[in-house]
Homo-oligomer: A and B are copies of this chain.
Amino acid sequence: MERLPGFRDFYPEPIPHTDVWSADARQFIFEKWRTVARRYNFREYDGPPLESLELFTTKSGEEIAGQLYNFTDKGDRAVALRPEMTPTLARMIAAHERNYKKPIKWFAIPQLFRYERQQKGRLREHFQFNADLIGETSPAADAELIALLIDALRAFGLTEKDFVIRLSSRNAWQEFYESRKQKAESGNDAYAFYQVIDKLERTPPEESEKKLAALGFSLAEVNQFIESGKQTAELESILQNLAARGLKDFVKVDYKVIRGLAYYTGVVFEAFDVQSEFRAIAGGGRYDNLVKLLSGGKVDLPALGFGMGDVVLLELLKTRGRLPKFDTTTDIFVLIEDESLRAQSLKLIHDLRAGGFAVEYPLTPAKPDKQFKRAQELKVAYTVRLENSDYVRIRDFKTRKEIVAGANDVANHLDSNRQ
Mark A residues whose CB is within 8 Å of B. 1-5, 7-13, 15-16, 18, 20, 23-24, 26-27, 38-41, 43-52, 54-55, 58, 69, 71-75, 77, 79, 81, 88, 91-92, 95-96, 99-101, 103, 106, 111, 113, 115, 118, 125, 136, 138, 140-141, 144, 147, 151, 240-241, 244-247, 294-296, 328-330, 342-344, 346-347, 349-350, 353-354, 356-360, 363-364, 374, 377-378
Contacts and interface: CB of A to CB of B under 8 A. Distances in A.
Contacts of A26: 46
A247 B103 CA distance: 49
B358 A39 contact: yes
A328 to B, nearest CB: 7
Contact of A23 (B3, B44, B77): B44
Given A27-B44, A41-B359, A138-B363, A96 B15 contact: yes
B48 A4 contact: yes
A323 to B, nearest CB: 17
13 contacts: A1-B54, A1-B294, A9-B88, A18-B99, A26-B46, A39-B357, A39-B359, A71-B72, A138-B363, A138-B364, A140-B363, A240-B343, A245-B347
Contact of A343 (B13, B147, B244): B244
Given A1-B294, A71-B71, A96 B244 contact: no
Contacts of A77: 4
Given A12-B43, A13-B43, 12 more contacts: A1-B52, A9-B47, A11-B96, A12-B44, A13-B100, A15-B99, A39-B353, A49-B111, A136-B363, A138-B363, A244-B346, A246-B350
Contacts of A296: 1
Contacts of A58: 1
A7 B48 CA distance: 6
A79 B138 contact: no
B377 A101 contact: yes
Nearest to A103: B363
A328 B43 contact: yes
Given A38-B329, A69-B73, A136-B363, A92 B47 contact: no
Q: How many copies of this chain?
A: 2
B79 A4 contact: yes
A350 B4 contact: no
Contacts of A136: 363-364
Contacts of A69: 50, 73-74
Nearest to A68: B74
A92 B11 contact: yes
B50 A81 contact: yes
A4 B46 contact: no
A4 B51 contact: yes
A267 to B, nearest CB: 15
A91 B3 contact: yes
A-B residue pairs, 5 tightest by C-beta: A12-B43, A71-B71, A7-B48, A244-B343, A245-B350
A296 B2 CA distance: 11
A246 to B, nearest CB: 6
Contacts of A48: 3-4, 7-9, 125
A47 B91 contact: no
Contact of A101 (B141, B353, B374): B374
A40 B330 CA distance: 9
A23 B45 contact: yes
A24 B88 CA distance: 18
B344 A7 contact: no
A97 to B, nearest CB: 11
Nearest to A133: B363
